[in-house]
Amino acid sequence: MELNKKTFLLFSLFLISATIFEIILIKNPNSKMVANFVKITTFYNPSFYINNPHLRHRDLNNINAIFEYSPSLREKEIGSFILKAPIK
């Protein structure tokens, strides 16, 4: 297999144009929505680690206090949805 100048030029051109097209085609999310949501709800914790309350709500100090005491502590799952079968 041998590379020639034409193939290399085409490959380089493809790489550069593909990168540029990608950047043009990226659909950035509407930052205004984030601003509005935070303004209305005063909630600004990213919804990460949903199933780890001390990571999800880092300003909810009581949860932090419990989990900082011992990471082995687990919350009692009160408030869980206990319907045996869905309503649908």
Residues in contact with another protein by the rule CB under 8 A:
1-5, 8, 11-12, 15-16, 18-19, 22-23, 25-53, 55-62, 65, 77-83, 86-88
Distance CA 66, CA 76 (A): 12
> Which residue do the tokens 């990213």 mark?
46
Length of the chain: 88
Residue number with CB closer to another protein (72 or 77)? 77
Rounded to a whole number of angstroms, the minimum distance from the CB of residue 72 to another protein is: 18
Rounded to a whole number of angstroms, the minimum distance from the CB of residue 52 to another protein is: 6
Q: Are 10 and 17 in contact (CB under 8 A)?
A: no
Rounded to a whole number of angstroms, the minimum distance from the CB of residue 17 to another protein is: 10
Structure tokens at 68: 């900082």
